[in-house]
Structure 1
Amino acid sequence: MGRSEGAMCVAANRGHRRVCERIAAHDPNGAAEAMFTHITAAWLVRRSAPSGPVRLDCW
């Protein structure tokens, strides 16, 4: 369910990469913040109207 355009998949992969980078850097606070940002942004964008944003600035 939700939107799944190619640009959104690229943005989602960037969010996942940020989480992994923070984990690899042994930065639990940074990983938690990156995951929160990723989940929140994905939820907002995927559930927006068709004319809504393709991605949020925080990605």
Structure 2
Amino acid sequence: MLTITSLFLLRIGTRIILSVVLVFGLSLLIVVGSLLRGYRKNKKLVNKADTDNNE
């Protein structure tokens, strides 16, 4: 009886951990992606400003 309960709890625990890791990983990817996109936009704006100044 004790082993069945512990196995059941272990299965629930692993499922919870997996879902948390998935959610965390997805949010991290979204944050990193938006940061990279913002960085690229800023870089383009800076490069545009540099070329404007050079002319």
- TM more than 0.5: no
TM-score (norm 1): 0.38
More helix by share: 2
TM-score (norm 2): 0.41
**RCO comparison, higher one (Cα < 8 Å, 6+):** 1
